[in-house]
Amino acid sequence: MAQIIGAVTTSHVPAIGGAMAKGLQAEPYWKPFFDGFPPVRRWLAEVKPDVAVVIYNDHGLNFFLDKMPTFAVGAAPEYRNADEGWGIPQVAPFRGDQDLSWHLIESLIGEDFDITTCQEMMVDHAFTLPMALLWPDQRWPVRVVPVCINTVQFPLPSARRCYRLGEAVGRAVRSWQSDARVLIMGTGGLSHQLDGQRAGFINKSFDEQFMNSLASDPEWATQYSIHDLVRLTGTQGVELVMWLAARAALGARASTRHSSYHIPISNTASGLMLLEPA
Ligand code: DHB
Ligand code: FE
């Protein structure tokens, strides 16, 4: 059976792509953010995952407001990035793992999750930038399975539902007949609001409580409704449900191997965690 080796959760702010393209990683503005990643890269070089299940939210590249699935899973042989208008370079295509995709889709639908199956799927900055942060040479050493959660158009799935989805993703991966080593990624957050009267809103104490909860009390954030989470973390801060789902995939117990947190990158409180199953 396949093995889940850990979960990496990270912010996915588009400006990261610009900073990487311009080589600004050592600039004072960017250094505290990029300095979080070398320990995760060293861990990846050690554990050598074969596949990454990437839980993220599309922001209008693959799904637009006319058709917005709550949960979608990629089942394509390959995933391409395209210009979203942020002015960041496009990255090389990602090789899919269709065997895991279909196993995941069958397991999730078998557990009563209503999944949109995507045999063609473009992946946006929320997928490509975390991949480039983990593998800066952009020669992707893993096959990928995108798992997309709507955090763009209301109504959004609850934190509790996203946690349950993550648990089901974990069960599916662990029951996959393969000797693959699987990394789970969750991208988004932490607190940020890009528009409206509270644009620039950040809540450091909530973010820190949330990050601490993932090891010790992982369902802590599921006590909050989506509207609570918008109030507490900003309209885009709700992307933290991706972290919850990724954490849930590890099973009941997990420990924090590495974490970093920095304010701000663009409008976002950026966070990074590496969690390992107990
Ligand atoms: C920013 C953050 C995001 O999560 C995103 O998807 C786009 C922009 C930002 O802070 O600039
Ligand atoms: Fe985002």
81 Cα–ligand 2 center, Å = 15
Question: How many CA atoms within 13 Å lie on the side-chain side of 224?
Answer: 19
Element (H, E) at 112: none
Q: Which ligand is nearest to the CA of 270?
A: 1
Element (H, E) at 265: strand 254-265
Known catalytic residue at 103: no
The residue whose C-alpha atom lies closest to atom 10 belonging to ligand 1 is 267
107 Cα–ligand 1 center, Å = 32
In the set 59, 125, 258, 262, the catalytic residue is 125
pLDDT recorded at residue 171? 98
70 Cα–ligand 1 center, Å = 20
Return the ligand 1 atom nearest residue 15 CA: 11
pLDDT in tens, 216-234: 999 999 999 999 999 999 9
Element (H, E) at 125: helix 125-134
- Cβ(18) – ligand 1 distance below 6 Å: no
- Cβ(12) – ligand 1 distance below 6 Å: yes
CA distance 152 to 65: 8
Q: Going by C-beta distance under 8 Å and a sequence separation of 6 or more, which residues neighbour residue 110?
A: none
- Cβ(13) – ligand 1 distance below 6 Å: yes
Return the ligand 1 atom nearest residue 265 CA: 10
Known catalytic residue at 258: no
Q: What is the pTM of this model?
A: 0.98
> Of 226, 265, 205, which Cα lies nearest the Cα of 27?
265
The residue whose C-alpha atom lies closest to atom 3 belonging to ligand 1 is 13
CATH superfamily of this structure's domain 3-277: LigB-like (3.40.830.10)
pLDDT in tens, 173-214: 999 999 999 999 999 999 999 999 999 999 999 999 999 999
The residue whose C-alpha atom lies closest to atom 8 belonging to ligand 1 is 13
- Which residues are bridge partners to 268 per DSSP? 192, 265
- Cβ(191) – ligand 1 distance below 6 Å: no
% of the chain residues with pLDDT over 70? 100
Probe residue for ligand 1, chosen from 11, 12, 233 as the CB with the greatest number of ligand atoms within 8 Å: 12
- Cβ(14) – ligand 1 distance below 6 Å: yes
pLDDT recorded at residue 51? 98
pLDDT in tens, the chain (278 residues): 999 999 999 999 999 999 999 999 999 999 999 999 999 999 999 999 999 999 999 999 999 999 999 999 999 999 999 999 999 999 999 999 999 999 999 999 999 999 999 999 999 999 999 999 999 999 999 999 999 999 999 999 999 999 999 999 999 999 999 999 999 999 999 999 999 999 999 999 999 999 999 999 999 999 999 999 999 999 999 999 999 999 999 999 999 999 999 999 999 999 999 999 99
- Cβ(233) – ligand 1 distance below 6 Å: no
